[in-house]
Structure 1
Amino acid sequence: MIEKFDLASQPPLPVPAAEDYARAALDASRGGWPGVAEHRDIAFGPGDWQRFDLFTPTAAVEGGADVVIFFHGGGWTNGYKEWCGFMAPALAARGVALAAPTYRLAPDARFPVFLEDAMKAVGAISARLAEYGCNPKRLFLSGHSAGGHIAALIALRPDMWSDAGIDETSICGCLPVSGILDLHHPAPPPGSLEERVYLDVLDRAEDDRAASPLNWLDDLSVPLALTWGEKDTERVRRSNENAREKLENSRQRCWFRTWDEDHFGTHLMLRDPAHGWYDILDDMRKGTA
Structure 2
Amino acid sequence: MRRLSFGAAIAVTIGLGVSVSLTSPPGLLSFLDGIMGGGIGAEKSGSGIPFGTHGQKLDVWRPARTDGRPLPVLIFWYGGGWVKGSRGAYAFAARAFARQGYLVVVPDYRKVPDVRFPAFLIDGAQAVRWTRDHARDFGGDPGRIAIAGHSAGAYTAAMLALDPEWLRGEGVAAGTIKAAVGLCGPYDFYPFTAKRAIDAMKGARDPQATQPIHFARADAPPMLLVSAGNDADVGAHNANNLTTRLRALGGRVAHIDYPGLSHENVVMAVSVPFRSKAPVLADSVRFLRENMARPASKEPR
- Indicate the TM-score class for this superposition, using the shorter chain for normalisation: 0.7 to 0.9
Question: Does residue 274 of structure 2 align to residue 270 of structure 1?
Answer: no
Q: Secondary structure at the match of 1:181?
A: coil
The aligned residue for residue 5 of structure 1 is none
Amino acid at match of 1:285: R
1:216 Cα offset (Å): 1.1
How far, CA to CA, are the matches of 2:288 and 2:109 in structure 1?
Answer: 26
1:234 Cα offset (Å): 6.2
Q: Secondary structure at the match of 2:174?
A: coil
Question: Does residue 84 of structure 2 align to residue 78 of structure 1?
Answer: yes
1:92 Cα offset (Å): 2.6
**Which deviations, in whole Å up to 9, do the C-alpha atoms of 1:139-186 show, x marking residues without a partner?**
111111111011100111123323224243321100010001123127
- Relative to the length of structure 1, the TM-score reads 0.82
Q: How many residues align?
A: 265
1:257 Cα offset (Å): 0.5
> Does the CA-based 8 Å contact 1:183-1:208 persist in structure 2?
no
The aligned residue for residue 216 of structure 1 is 215
| Percent identity between the two aligned chains | 26
Amino acid at match of 2:62: T
Paired residue for 1:160, among 145, 166, 178? Answer: 166
Q: 1:252 to 1:178 in 2, by over 3 A?
A: same
Paired residue for 2:144, among 120, 138, 142? Answer: 138
**Which deviations, in whole Å up to 9, do the C-alpha atoms of 1:89-114 show, x marking residues without a partner?**
43233211221101110122100111
**Which 4+ stretches in 1 moved above 4 angstroms?**
17-22
1:209 Cα offset (Å): 1.4
Deviates more, 1:272-281 or 1:112-121: 272-281
How far, CA to CA, are the matches of 2:270 and 2:248 in structure 1?
Answer: 29
> Does the CA-based 8 Å contact 2:155-2:212 persist in structure 1?
yes
> Does the CA-based 8 Å contact 2:204-2:210 persist in structure 1?
no
Question: Does residue 287 of structure 2 align to residue 283 of structure 1?
Answer: yes
How far, CA to CA, are the matches of 2:223 and 2:43 in structure 1?
Answer: 28
How far, CA to CA, are the matches of 2:132 and 2:117 in structure 1?
Answer: 23
Paired residue for 1:41, among 23, 36, 48? Answer: 48
Q: Secondary structure at the match of 1:255?
A: strand
The aligned residue for residue 247 of structure 1 is 246
Paired residue for 2:99, among 93, 105, 110? Answer: 93
Amino acid at match of 1:53: D
How far, CA to CA, are the matches of 2:151 and 2:76 in structure 1?
Answer: 11
How far, CA to CA, are the matches of 1:236 and 1:83 in structure 2?
Answer: 25
How far, CA to CA, are the matches of 1:46 and 1:287 in structure 2?
Answer: 31
> Does the CA-based 8 Å contact 1:29-1:86 persist in structure 2?
yes
1:43 Cα offset (Å): 1.6
Amino acid at match of 1:236: G
Equivalences for residues 50-199 of structure 1 within 5 A: 50-185=56-191, 188=193, 194-198=194-198
- Relative to the length of structure 2, the TM-score reads 0.79
How far, CA to CA, are the matches of 2:85 and 2:57 in structure 1?
Answer: 14
